[in-house]
Structure 1
Amino acid sequence: MKIEEGTVVGLNDNGLVDVKVGRHSDCISCGACDGAQHIVVQALNPVGAKVGQHVKFEMREVNIVIGAFVCFIMPLLVAAAGVFIGRMIAQSQALDVVNLEIAGGIIGFLIGVVGVKLFDRKITNDANARPKIVEVVQGR
């Protein structure tokens, strides 16, 4: 588990809170965000933190790794499989290999993008995948 700190900036009706987190080395090296100075994450709030309180929350590192794989690597692997399948079909049917490889790669990539979207929907509704507040930091 990875422990992070942030400030509660909002309470949601669904029992989650918005936590504003300063960028750290992981975020800076990723570069996926638009350069925002702070990131807001939604976290479970079992400790009853209130707006303005500084909190510690935990994130499961395995979720970060799986998310990165699904978003960045999986679509490329599926596209490569599409190229391979396109090549096999072209060779078995005596068709133009290059065109079917390109078509297979595009179709495979689109299937990969749909897979990312489905993964996003699944993980959005999974309470175990969400960050969870573990304590309110006193003296801040």
Structure 2
Amino acid sequence: MKIEEGTIVGINDNGLADVKVGRHSDCMACGACDGAQNIVVQALNPVGAEVGQHVKFEMRETNIVIGAFVCFVMPLLVAAAGVFIGHWIALSQGLNEINLEIAGGIIGFLLGAVGVKLFDRSLSNDANAKPKIVEVLVR
């Protein structure tokens, strides 16, 4: 488990807390965000922390690794599979190989992007995938 600290900036109707977190080395290395100095994370709030309190929360590191794989590697693998399928279809039908490989790659990449969106939706409904506030810090 990875432990982070942040400040609660809001409590949602569904019981999740919006925690403002300063960017750290993992965020700087990724660069996927818009470049803001802070990010806001939705976390489970079993300790009943309130707006303005500084809290510690934990994140499962496996979720970070799986998310990075699904977002960055999986679309490329599906695109490569599309290229091979386009090549195979072109050979079996006697068609232009390059055009079908390109089309297969584009279709594969689009399918991979849809897969990323579906994965994101499934994680948004999974309570085990969300960070969890474990302690309210006194300042």
Residue 50 of structure 2 aligns with an amino acid whose one-letter code is K
Distance 1:91 1:55 in 2: 60
Runs of 5+ consecutive residues of structure 2 not aligned to the other structure: none
Indicate yes or no: 2:54 matched with 1:54: yes
Deviations 1:58-117 (A, max 9, x none): 000000000111011100000000000000010011110000000000110011011001
Q: Could you say which residue in structure 2 is the equivalent of 1:42? A: 42
Distance 1:28 1:123 in 2: 23
1:70-109 pair list within 5 angstroms:
70-109=70-109
Residue 96 of structure 1 aligns with an amino acid whose one-letter code is N
Q: Could you say which residue in structure 2 is the equivalent of 1:9? A: 9
TM-score, normalised relative to structure 2: 0.99
Q: Could you say which residue in structure 1 is the equivalent of 2:114? A: 114
Q: Stretches of 4+ moved more than 2 A in 1?
A: none
Q: Could you say which residue in structure 2 is the equivalent of 1:137? A: 137
Distance 1:47 1:122 in 2: 25
Distance 1:41 1:49 in 2: 14
Distance 2:127 2:4 in 1: 18
Comparing 26-35 with 74-83, greater Cα deviation is found at 26-35
Local SS of the residue matching 1:136: strand
Query: Once the two structures are aligned, what percentage of the paired residues are identical?
Result: 83
Shift of 1:124: 0.4
| Aligned residue-pair number | 139
TM-score, normalised relative to structure 1: 0.98
Residue 59 of structure 2 aligns with an amino acid whose one-letter code is M
Runs of 5+ consecutive residues of structure 1 not aligned to the other structure: none
Shift of 1:35: 1.1
RMSD: 0.5
Distance 1:126 1:90 in 2: 42
